[in-house]
Chains A and B, each alone.
Chain A
Amino acid sequence: MKILVTDQAGVDHELEGLEGWRVMEVIRDWGLNIKAECGGALSCATCHVYVDKDWLDVVGAPSDEEEDMLDSVGDVRPNSRLSCQILMNDALDGLKVTLAASAAKD
């Protein structure tokens, strides 16, 4: 299955993902500009992405804890998600997300 990721520079990438991987892990594994400093513990918000509007319903809403964590970035939008909280499955084949500025490495 594949995901389509637009990086902070506006470049599109088609990445191969595996069932059960977190979207953050897919993006990190392909070497895109994602800091993901807590490694998926929902403790940092440095894997922040914007979910394409056509995919919002499929991905679903963030949990309360994820919503709280989003308080620690300054570029939240209604379609903001932490990519460590989105697990790859068949329904997400073709998912489109955009990396937020706040997810960039230094």
Chain B
Amino acid sequence: MRLLVAEDHPKLARSIADGLREEGYSVDLTMDGNEAGHLLSANQYDCVVLDIMLPGKEGWDILNEARGRGNRAPVLCLTARDTPEDRVRGLDLGADDYLIKPFDWSELVARVRALIRRAHGQASTLLRIGDLEINTLSKSVRRAGNPITLSAREYALLHYLALRAGQVVSRTDVWEHLYDQEEELSSNVVDVYIGYLRNKIDKPFDVKLIHTRRGHGYMLAAAGENES
């Protein structure tokens, strides 16, 4: 999952970004309002953590413009202002959630998780594809009841495919959603990680869940949805 964190307090911004990266997210970080606006229009984020009081351009304006362009990325507003008027304004402008500074770290992470889940139409924290179970809270994966150990990258890839289960996901999509802008990537990095995942998820089992659509991308789907 790829997140954008826009926060102008440098220490707070770094802590949030570091913390979210440790949670397995790819994080783009900016401390400037204008840059936040550009990043938001250039990339597809799974969630945006947006401080309202940003130098250059206020969070309200960024939000307003992004929604005006049809950007539907879930936005969690972060602010030290807690008057009801502020909250109402934020939610009316298209914020999906609102968190007052100072906040509990676990709450921020839980809200980000919930926003991503809801954006993909998932109500539960447990994803099921055939006999594959992904617990998004504990980040544990089981297939046919057997626990499977995945690296953070592998898990992130599987999680993303699972959220879009039954749909073909292009390499670019995967790229966009799993890697932040700072990372140097080789062109076949997605294929390499798909290979790792196949080894762990599909190889020991008869029914394959990860499917390749040549020229289009990959799809995670249970057996029955396989034949499209």
Bound together: no
